Amino acid sequence: MPSLLHPRTPTPHAPASKNRPLRLRTAWIIICLLLAGFGVLIYGSSAKMLKVPIQSSVMVSDVFFRDSVGPLLGAEFVGGNTVRPLINGKEIFPAMLEEIRKAKKSISLESYIWASGKVSDQFRAALIERAKAGVKVHALVDGAGNLKLKLSEVDEMKAAGVEFVVYGREHWYDFKFNLNHRSHRKLLIVDGKVGFTGGVCIDDTWLGNADAPNVWRDTQARVEGPAVRQMQAVFATNWLQTTSRLLVGPDYFPDTGKPGSALVDCFKSGPDEGPENARLSYLLAIASARKSIRLSHAYFVPDDLTTEMLLAARKRGVKIDVIIPLKNDSRLGRAAARSRWGKLLDAGVEFHQFTPCLYHCKVMIVDDVFTTLGSINFDNRSFSINDEVNINVLDAEVTRAFLKSYEDDLAHSKALTAEEFHARPFYIKLADQFSGALRSQF
């Protein structure tokens, strides 16, 4: 037994101070490797094939514009369509639900976000009722967007005959290797004859009429006519990728007739499906603008080439207005966007900050005759990483209808001047530049 006066000498160990530098070096090596890997990911996500400004000798109203854009996007403009703008959840959800309840043959519904709540309850009830009536009901949701949808509600739909699948994963045990790749598409096609697209998801934050600070102001389009078959084909692509099953036949691709006169095309874009289509569609229209470009976008983060082309449009006298949110759902995303606005403001591009609530529109109007809208944000994620869908419309009457909502948004916006922008505090500028370096991921 050791004496109290002579305690047992402890077994010698290597001093902790000698191991600490080794552990620190190891930690720094791991951090550096992770940062390098993240940098490679960002570079790969941001890489573009198109790097030279587009030179266009035609206007968007010329037949040559239509005959070039359609083939380049893999979706020819087709005539005989009607296109009606729907503004905010107050108009959008009732119109979509009305068509679902009238379905006789098929329903194809794709959403990036589907969250439990009042809107989900209405869609779920309508889909279940139609599935029980023998209608073929297909629902596709992105894996990052269905996290707030209760499994019990999914099970209820499946039990009633609704084919509900998560994009890229038909079964729970399927693994999607590229987790950064998402389907951001929003589509509803009923009986292959009526289609909807825009920015709206199945979520209660789109309820109402943009009359509360934390709800979304958004625009959707209702399409009827031959272009709906192109919309169905876009949905069928993601459905095939997920289930290995093809949707085909008159229940999905019927003779739609020609209920209107608008020229419309619907195109898909994604890393494996026309990887430059989203960006190309915008840039071709910008290059062909001669009078005006009106942009209303939740996330307006132009890359270097797009900025260069917008500046070139200003030099040839094109008036450019951009409606952006005063606030949105991502501080980092807004900071990244701000890092790209300086040169445009200095060149006379007019920025307008929408004030009443959150802003989620994804619309561009060129020369009062061309309108493009759908799921595509004006940023690198939509241009390069996500699966997206848009419709292009060549029709002065339809464009006037979308201009009406644009002018209403302008009336509820406040100007952002170049002086105000450049006077923001230095720490905000620093945060903007840091976020801008990572802009492809927001």
Pairwise CA distance, residues 67 & 386, whole Å = 27
Rg over alpha carbons for the chain, rounded to the nearest Å, is: 25
> Environment class of residue 35 by beta-carbon count within 10 Å: exposed (0-12), middle (13-18) or buried (19+)?
exposed
Q: Are strands 350-354 and 413-416 parallel, antiparallel or unpaired?
A: antiparallel
Q: Which residues contact 43 (CB under 8 A, 6 or more apart)?
A: none
Q: Is residue 226 within 8 Å of 80, Cβ to Cβ?
A: yes
Q: Please give the Cα distance from 25 to 16 (Å, whole number).
A: 15
| Interval 23-58: pLDDT, tens | 777 777 777 777 666 555 554 555 467 889 999 999
| Per-residue confidence (pLDDT) for residue 51, from 0 to 100 | 87
Which tokens go with 294? 């009106």
Give the model's pLDDT for residue 180. 72
**CA–CA separation, 111 vs 92, rounded Å?**
14
pLDDT tens digits for 219-256?
999 999 999 999 999 999 999 999 999 999 999 999 99
Q: What is the pTM of this model?
A: 0.87
> What residues does each domain of the chain span?
63-441
**Pick the residue with more confidence: 416 or 8?**
416
Average pLDDT over residues 168-197: 79
Helices then strands, counting H and E runs in the chain, come out as 14, 17
Answer for the pair 188, 108: CB distance below 8 angstroms, yes or no.
Answer: yes
Domain 63-441 top-level CATH class: alpha beta
Contact 412, 354 (CB under 8 A): yes
Q: What is the pLDDT of residues 112-124, one digit of tens each?
A: 999 999 999 999 9
Work out the angle at residue 370's Cα, subtended by the Cα atoms of residues 286 and 56, and round it to the nearest 5 degrees. 35
Measured CA to CA in angstroms, residue 311 lies from 99, 305, 307, 315, 318 at distances of: 43, 10, 6, 6, 9
pLDDT digits (tens, 9 = 90+) for 98-143: 999 999 999 999 999 999 999 999 999 999 999 999 999 999 999 8
pLDDT of 13 = 52
Is residue 351 exposed (0-12), middle (13-18) or buried (19+ Cβ within 10 Å)?
buried
| Residue 131 vs residue 427, higher pLDDT | 131
pLDDT band with cut points at 50, 70 and 90 for residue 182: confident
Token couple for 322? 């951009």
Over pLDDT 70: what percentage of the chain?
88
Output the DSSP codes for 28-50: HHHHHHHHHHHHHHHHHHH--S-
* CA pair distance 358, 373, nearest whole angstrom: 18
Query: What tokens does 398 get?
Result: 């339809």
Mean pLDDT, residues 196-210: 97
Q: Quick check: 387 pLDDT over 50?
A: yes
Which residues partner with 263 through β-bridges?
Answer: 394
Output the average pLDDT for the chain: 90
**Counting beta carbons within 10 angstroms of the beta carbon of residue 397, is it exposed (0 to 12), middle (13 to 18) or buried (19 or more)?**
exposed
